[in-house]
Amino acid sequence: MHEHNLNLYIYAPKDDPYHREKWREPYPAKEMQRLQELIQTARQNNVEFVFAISPGLDMRFEGADGEADLTALITKFNSLYRAGVRQFAIFFDDIRNKDAQQQATVLNEVNHSFIHKRADVKPLFTVPTEYFSLDMMTKKGIKKYTKDFSSRLDKDILVMYAGEGVVCEGISLDNIASVEKIYGRKMAIWWNYPVSDYMKGKLALGPITGMGAGASDHMAAFVMNPMEHAVLSRITLATGADFASQPASYNEDASWKHALEEQYGALSEDMQV
């Protein structure tokens, strides 16, 4: 990442139980030590390490239970703050609970009582439950969840969305501008490529494509979701780094070929095949 000027890493693996299913529980000492090594490595390479938590499977919002869960979430963030994390995220994607008011209330409370209380902590990220534009709108207009969530959420919270669909071919200027209008802020992009967990037999080895002219001007951040195949993911990630650094002059074919030459040398032509 450092070599390609990629400067943001979001830690959000759904198969880390302490990120999702057991989000209330503290990391065991051994796991926390591994996280600290990763955080330190990120810092040494000028990469902002963002710790994300996904509490939506079973988070409680009301009464004493709601207070206990909010306290547990902030306690978890405090433990990662002590480990060196200076940017955080709360994700509500891929869950059944679509109570926008409750989700926004929790995010705003964490923003006020944790994020704003620490001068060295950067803005909070979130992913809403309706996280792609086709799920935010119908022919009749903006859906209730998105309308309620966007209107209640603090304006300094960074909101991520995946484009028109969960996995799509690109982002047009019209699409990102329409979502920006809904949320009243620049949108951060969570790009679901080269990730292939929805199709295990697929190897995603192409460049970042389909970014419309001018769309990058509306992006608060551009984050790529890699495959479980870490080394092969580097092909796409290198092209995404080129796009992010020079969006106006980005050439996907040239960037892809350069990535293969850089990573595979004399074997680059075989890799192209």
Name the residues annotated as catalytic.
94
Q: How far apart are CA 123 and CA 256, in angstroms?
A: 33
Radius of gyration of the chain (CA): 19
User: How far is the first Cα of the chain from the last one, in angstroms, to the nearest whole number?
Assistant: 26
- For residue 77, the SS3 value is helix
Q: How far apart are CA 59 and CA 103, in angstroms?
A: 10
Count CB-CB contacts under 10 A for residue 18: 17
Six-digit token string for 42: 């990120």
Q: How far apart are CA 87 and CA 188, in angstroms?
A: 14
Element (H, E) at 158: strand 158-161
- Contact 131/165 with Cβ under 8 angstroms? no
Six-digit token string for 29: 């000492």
Q: How far apart are CA 226 and CA 191, in angstroms?
A: 9
